[in-house]
Amino acid sequence: MEFPQITIARKAFLSGKTLRLEFRRKQLVKLADCLDDQKNRARICEAVHKDLKKCTFDGKTTSHFPFSEKKPCGVIAQNVCMSY
């Protein structure tokens, strides 16, 4: 069974689009924004509970280290472009 999202991601990868640093930086910024959103945090914790049977506290403290860090994806995104 093929999932449309996987097909789209595979095509983008094979096209070489993901090699560009600017593309990677933008994706990291989007991920940071997603993790900062309270609604998304709640949905992620709910999914961790369903999949791994972890309570909210465990989900936040063990599985979601980005929640406790101050925008790690944003920091990484800045460093990606500076490194090259």
Per-residue pLDDT tens over the stretch 5-47: 999 999 989 999 888 888 888 888 888 788 777 788 788 888 8
Question: Does 12 map to a domain?
Answer: no
Question: Does 39 map to a domain?
Answer: yes
Question: Does 6 map to a domain?
Answer: no
**Domains identified in the chain, total number:** 1
Question: Does 15 map to a domain?
Answer: no
**Greatest mean pLDDT among 6-10, 58-62, 63-67, 75-79:** 6-10
Spell out the alpha helix ranges (H) of 2-71.
4-15, 21-36, 38-52, 56-58, 65-68
Q: Which of 15, 35, 41 lies closest to 77, judged by CA?
A: 35
Could you tell me the pTM of the whole model? 0.56
Residue ranges making up the domain that contains 76: 20-83
Question: Does 5 map to a domain?
Answer: no
Question: Does 9 map to a domain?
Answer: no
